[in-house]
Amino acid sequence: MNKIAERNVKDAKGTQPVADPLTQEESLQNTFLDSDLGDLESGARLRGAILEQSGREISGWIVDAGSPTASVALSLFVGSHSIEETRTDRAAPAGIGSRNAVGRPGFRIDLASPAARRRLARALKNTLPLGPGQAQIYLRVSPDDGEYFEIPLFENMAPDELVIALGFSDADYSDLLIPDNNGIVTPAPDPAGKQVRHVCFYLPQFHSFAENDRWWGPGFTEWTNISRMRPQFPAHQSPWLPADLGFYDVRLTETRRQQADLARRYGIHGFCYYVYWFQGRRLLERPLELLLEDGEPDLPFCICWANENWSRRWDGSDAELLLGQNHSLDDDVRFIDDMAELLLDERYITVDGRKIIVVYRPSLLPDRERLFEVWRARARELGIGEILICNAMTFGEFDPRDVNCDAAVEFPPHTITTTEQPPADLEAPASFTGKIYDYVDAVRSSLGKTYDFPYFPAVMPRWDNTPRKGSRGHVFNRSSPEAFEVWLRDATSRARKSQFAEPIVFINSWNEWAEGAHLEPDSRYGRAFLEAVRRVASSEPISLQVRSNPDLLDCLSRQELEQSVKEAATHVELLAILHRSEMAYSGLQHLRSGIPVEVEGAAENPPGSLLVVENVNSQTGERVVVDPRSIILVRGWVCPGADFEASKQRTAFLILLSMDAEKQGQNGYCLVVDWHERFDVKEYMRVESRDCYFGFQLSFSVRDIPDGEYRIAILEVGEGSRALIASNHSIIVRR
């Protein structure tokens, strides 16, 4: 049994834990199941058991002796880093055979999700260098009275052992410990002599100014949109909130310095700032003015003239116009003079000796050919030198020759083709009138793309403008750091093959938070997208997470694919088991309709048999209501009886038996694959040693069965015998 250390919150700082151990000599009746509430009033404050601690999950049950029926909060910590949080369900009296006992409120902290794995990896990277036994992995248990308790986990393990215990591979151990992300990433020399630079578009709308105050209300910034975003459908990754940099104000020097440090650390060469210039009138100009005044962020930079209308719909259209662009040759020639101080800055980005200027929509400019001739002449007169005028590839305007430009810059999502997903397939409500696209399909459509004109490749980490447009927004579903890394690697490879000696890959963007296109750390992925940039910029091999993602295998190069196959070959047996049981990597099964054929001839509730369902989705009640859109997790144990002889490869099915006499044909079942012998139950039940008490847990979806109440049963298939054991527990499927 784990030690449980008790602390008072207000007295915890700077103190050592005071151990209140539950020793091995204590009766298992006290540490496993207490027979009545009276016994809970003496001894340790918390009673319970950690039934599993692994890289997949931390699970068990906990009772607060001071308030046995109350739910408690739990948080998994690695050092000072909180990884996941959950709560136990409220306890209730439960019947175990002929005994009555306090129900055990279960809990489960899932560590198998990609987001949890990333948080765990980041925390380990910061804590493992402390040495063996010092990583301080613990479960914090917090009753509602201000006290908290800490249960140490994975004690006295060497760092390499701990990494393996938490489900990472030997190769991951080096990835967790070796990279020092406090250093500056410099691109590795390319055999062809080309170093690809990664430049992010930068939105300066993170400070209040008079026009926005008048149009949207006092104090409006881009954070205002972020704060009111809500998920639009079950799979929608929303909301997201800023992590490391917080809700910053770009007028603060420290904020811009932190942005530069973060970008430089992860291999970002510089920023491309949007410039909002309307016939000499400028909006959002303050960050660029400060860039010249105090030098922050101290990174290379260039500019993109966002020469559209400023509208309430955020799309540059004439509808709901706030500030219009009235382009004329006489006005637009002044743009170079107004931008001269920026263009003359020594940090300004050049490509093959020419200062790069991106124009968002050059087709809106009248007499472009004459205008750009004047710009070039004026740039020479001002000492700026030669300029490289590029069009952003937007609204079907791709070829720079059609708009009198020198080169083009890809601008996703404008430059990609992808599958549109019907909102109904993702269970979006009727109120959602936007569009949903497939990000992975967008990546596939961009790989290896070439043009017959000079261009700079570009990528986007994700896209979701519901913070601005709500239920009318466009969302790219299935975006991830792994898919982004595949896209960025391909774009970098394409850039090296371009005609430019100093190629650039543009990233849309650094901080377009209200369009979901941001690299800055957020509450969902942390620095995972930045890590992808770092790996590509430093020419590291493609990450294990990418190579093990089945959705991306067809996006890999031949060499990368061969490496993936080689790694997968070491897990053939496991993969075969998963395939046979039709389980995904996560362990999730889809409930089959009907009942298994093996039920024929099975003995129903044979003498000595017992099925105990400990919890359903951490709820210990005998009737649990479930949402068919959610995953159902059932945990318990079973004894098929003294006369039952299990097979060498234990086989059993969990069956949901309809309790509606008119729906007897609408049962469902799935295979039980996760077995573990329950010695604690055998000890408590005082049973014969040959009796089998096996614990199980399984996750499944009930999406395909109709609403109704279903009793939980287990069908055990043994050597020449079968046993169907029903429980008193049922789940109520309710849509």
pLDDT tier at 94, thresholds 50, 70, 90: very low
* Assigned token pair, 401: 């020759």
Half-sphere exposure (Cβ direction) of 204: Cα atoms closer than 13 Å:
24
| Token duo for residue 431 | 């109120």
What sign does the dihedral 535-536-539-540 (CA atoms) show?
positive
Q: Residue 325 in contact with residue 364, Cβ under 8 Å?
A: yes
Confidence at residue 694, expressed as pLDDT on a 0 to 100 scale: 80
Q: Which two tokens stand for residue 434?
A: 């936007």
Instruction: Read off the pLDDT band of 129 (50, 70, 90).
Output: low
Tens digit of each residue's pLDDT (9 = 90 or more) over 671-699: 887 677 777 776 666 655 455 678 888 88
Nearest to 514 by CA among 459, 465, 471: 465
Provide mean pLDDT across the span 508-517.
94
If you search the block for the tokens 């790989």, which residue do you land on? 447
Confidence (pLDDT) at 15:
29
Question: Distance (Å, rounded) from C-alpha 635 to C-alpha 282?
Answer: 62
One-letter identity of residue 389: I
Enumerate domains of the chain plus CATH numbers. Answer: 5-177 (no CATH), 197-568 (3.20.20.80), 588-733 (2.60.40)
pLDDT of residue 16: 30
Q: Using CB atoms within 10 Å of the CB of residue 731, give its burial: 0 to 12 exposed, 13 to 18 middle, 19+ buried.
A: buried
Work out the average pLDDT over 213-228.
Answer: 88
Separation CA 490–CA 536 (nearest Å): 10
Over residues 123-149, mean pLDDT: 71
Residue whose structure tokens are 């490289």: 388
Q: In 538-631, which ranges are continuous DSSP H helix? A: 544-547, 558-569, 572-580
d(CA 260, CA 509): 14
Rounded to an integer, what distance in angstroms lies between the CA atom of residue 401 and that of residue 535?
35
Among 270-279, 335-344, 644-653, which is the least confidently predicted range? 644-653
- Alpha-carbon dihedral sign for residues 239, 244, 247, 251: negative
Q: Tokens standing for 532?
A: 């992808």
pLDDT (tens digit per residue) in 307-362: 988 876 554 445 567 788 888 898 999 999 999 999 999 999 999 999 999 999 99
What Rg value do the Cα atoms of the chain yield, rounded?
31
Statement: residue 96 has pLDDT above 90: no
Q: Please report, in angstroms and rounded to a whole number, the separation of the first and last CA atoms in the chain.
A: 41
Cα separations in angstroms, 253 against 205, 224, 241, 504, 674: 15, 22, 22, 27, 55
* Residue 591 near residue 702, CB atoms below 8 Å: yes
How far from chain centre, in Å, is Cα 227? 19
